[in-house]
Structure 1
Amino acid sequence: MFSISRDDLGPNFLFGTATAAYQIEGGQTDGRGSCIWDTFAATPGNVKNAHDGATACDHYNRWPEDLDLIRDGGFDAYRFSLAWPRLIPEGTGAVNPKGIAFYDRLIDGMLERGLKPYATLYHWDLPSPLQDKGGWMNRDIAKWFAEYAALVGHHFGDRLAATATINEPWCVAFLSHFLGIHAPGYRDIRAASRAMHHVLLAHGTAIDALRAEGMKNLGIVLNLEKAEPFSESAEDRLAFDYGDALFNRWYLDGVFKGRYPDILTSALAQYLPEGFEKDMDVVSRPLDWLGINYYTRGLYKYDASRPAFPVTQVKGDLPKSDLGWEIYPKGLEDLLVRVSREYTKLPLYVTETGMSETDDTRRVQFYDDHLRAVANAQGQGADVRGFFAWSLLDNYEWAEGYNSRFGIVHVDYETQKRTPKGSYRAFQGMLHNTR
């Protein structure tokens, strides 16, 4: 069980759990179109064991059971994503009525169970026909995404408690277009530079489209890390500056200050879209809240062999999850305080944190320590109002396939049987028992 109680985080603090459409839904029928993860997973060598999301957790058919788990766990909210290709199979144009009907059922099912729907428009499942046109490298994606956002706002906006435009733009842009680890799998600095800007431009156009539909309580979900230098040498401090700018400041500065870090606009000058500066008013549209996803720290060391970004990430000596990610609760505390002091007084939500691990006793400790970090950040003035555990279910963990298990509920992929873990019971015990 947890040592921290619900009351330690305030009487109105929101507890939820989170998933993403491609990782759990399956249901690649009923008019759903192809997405970039379907083709990326079908390409040999991209995903461990050639796993794909065709069935995943069969949430498309088993959603009532999954919503019951969230309700019975005592959670207040469910953070989920809508699948763009399920709603608009070609990415633009004709709408799939069976996709609309599915999310009608799902959202109504949340409300019937007393759960607040926290929706995310984009969690990485770009329709393949839009990738054929360049995807996030094409400036037109800002227009395509706004059209999709307007559809969501029109059909579902009156029932959503909160809506985020994009989940983890660093992953959408840099991880997927420079490091090539996620779909569409590019390793190209020009592609990455364009995606880094267009993902935030599309965020801004989507905010405008959602507000035009009368929606309120809008935000974005940024994945942030506690960036640190490997040593206090001048070279490693420079490496840290690059690393922090690439992972954190590009997105925080863009969204909240209407500019990008000079260290990156200088390094990427020949690759960025011409005239990107004229878009910054759209990139920095006013928001109602900020979601922060946090998992680990980035430890940066200078590396002269990499002229574009003279940095390399190194492993530290902290305990690690089974993915090798360092477990660093203090990093979450520091990030929340930093964002609240340097960037915004908007309400903050920890929209994801969790660990890949088969030893669930470690997961219980992980959550206890990170909830304590949130309480510590609140004590330093950070206006943190909610915490979402990643993830409700063991699921399709992208390039890791089904090897990695983040769930507080175990999934037997052969039978689709759900079995709550000790971490689920720890949340259930805390949320059903207040002081």
Structure 2
Amino acid sequence: YHWDLPQALEDRGGWLNRDIVDWFADYARLIGQRYGRRVKRFVTFNEPGIFSLFSRSFGARDRSADDKLHRWIHHVNLAHGAAVDALRQTVADAQIGLVTNYQPIYPSTDKPEDITEAALIGDYWNRAFSDPENVRQYPLLIRDAIAPHIQPGDIARIHRPLDWFGLNHYSPVYINSDPNAIIGLGWGAKPDGIPRTPIDWTIEPDAFRDTLIEVSRRYGKPVYVTENGYGSNIEKPDDTGAVIDPGRIAFLRDYISGLDAAIAAGADVRGYFVWSLLDNFEWAEGY
């Protein structure tokens, strides 16, 4: 699922309606029945934090949205668990994972409120989905907020056996505290002196290395890097028709070196997929 909810289901409440758990299970079952003879690796959700947090939190000012955010998160997790069960029932040898955009969350200043906010956003951004689905509990800093939406048996329904962990990673996120925003998040200034891509994402291969080590140790599953790459809008063919692309070449060299260092440190990384030369143009940076 990559954020394309049918309008008919959105009109019935979408991810705020607990019935979506069964709707999503039916969808996963249909996918398994149609493609299971040829497809053996499945992802339930790609970056659930993005379509959840950006829809119901970042930039929002209506404080009532806070409850909707936590209900939404819990329903996505329940739908994930139901989809895993549906795929297991229809594809006996399925290899199933979830893909998250797990990134270091750094405070943009050393103010106590920014440091506190960075810890909170780390639980929302990185662990609100990965933790209940892999280690059977919500992360500590958001546990009380989710609790009103949890019914008996829900955590067991979410925590279904997974075969691998999917990681999308580009760069860290820098934030500051905004007391007027839902969950308090404001986008912070990025530090000077750190290289950036042409679309202003910082280039920090050491953060990639550290993230691979962290998720491998925290979740104990084989890791596939399902997205990593260099978004750029400035390369053009030269007079010979060739694209001279030193920025992307250097980025991939350094990030793959970071991956190699993570493996040397014990991270169980099984695959690496470069996300394309058009990254993010289809969503936010171009069209």
Q: Tell me, which stretches of 5 or more residues in structure 1 are unaligned?
A: 1-121, 182-186, 403-435
Question: Displacement, 1:260?
Answer: 1.2
Aligned CA distance change for structure 1 residues 291 and 205 (closer, same or farther; 3 Å): same
State the AA in 2 paired with 1:327.
I
- The match for 2:88 among 211, 233, 241 is 211
The question of 1:262 aligning with 2:140 is answered yes
Q: CA deviation digits over 1:157-208, x for unaligned, max 9?
A: 1211411111001012111222379xxxxx9323322221111111110000
Question: Displacement, 1:280?
Answer: 1.1
Aligned CA distance change for structure 1 residues 356 and 138 (closer, same or farther; 3 Å): same
SS in 2 for 1:292: strand
State the AA in 2 paired with 1:241.
A
State the AA in 2 paired with 1:295.
Y
For the aligned residues, what is the CA RMSD?
2.3
Aligned CA distance change for structure 1 residues 123 and 273 (closer, same or farther; 3 Å): farther
Q: CA deviation digits over 1:50-83, x for unaligned, max 9?
A: xxxxxxxxxxxxxxxxxxxxxxxxxxxxxxxxxx
- The equivalent residue for 2:208 is 332
Q: TM-score, normalized by length of structure 1?
A: 0.58
State the AA in 2 paired with 1:313.
W
Q: Is the 8 A contact 2:104 2:207 kept in 1?
A: yes
- The match for 1:312 among 176, 186, 191 is 186
Question: Displacement, 1:400?
Answer: 3.4
The total of aligned residue pairs comes to 271
SS in 1 for 2:180: coil
The question of 1:155 aligning with 2:40 is answered no
Q: Tell me, which stretches of 5 or more residues in structure 2 are unaligned?
A: 236-244
Q: Distance in 1 between matches of 2:114 and 2:50?
A: 24
State the AA in 2 paired with 1:240.
A
Q: Distance in 2 between matches of 1:351 and 1:220?
A: 10
Question: Displacement, 1:385?
Answer: 0.7
Aligned CA distance change for structure 1 residues 260 and 394 (closer, same or farther; 3 Å): closer
Q: Is the 8 A contact 2:127 2:138 kept in 1?
A: yes
Structure with more relative contact order (C-alpha pairs < 8 Å, separation 6 or more): 1
Moved more, 219-228 or 252-261: 252-261
Q: Is the 8 A contact 1:153 1:215 kept in 2?
A: no
Q: Which runs of 4+ in 1 moved over 6 A?
A: none
- The equivalent residue for 1:237 is 115
Q: Distance in 1 between matches of 2:151 and 2:196?
A: 39
Percent identical pairs in the alignment equals 39
Q: TM-score, normalized by length of structure 2?
A: 0.86
Question: Displacement, 1:227?
Answer: 1.5
Alignment of 1:92-171 (within 5 A): 122-171=1-50
Q: Is the 8 A contact 1:320 1:327 kept in 2?
A: yes
Q: Is the 8 A contact 1:218 1:288 kept in 2?
A: yes
State the AA in 2 paired with 1:283.
I
Q: Distance in 2 between matches of 1:226 and 1:200?
A: 22
The question of 1:294 aligning with 2:172 is answered no
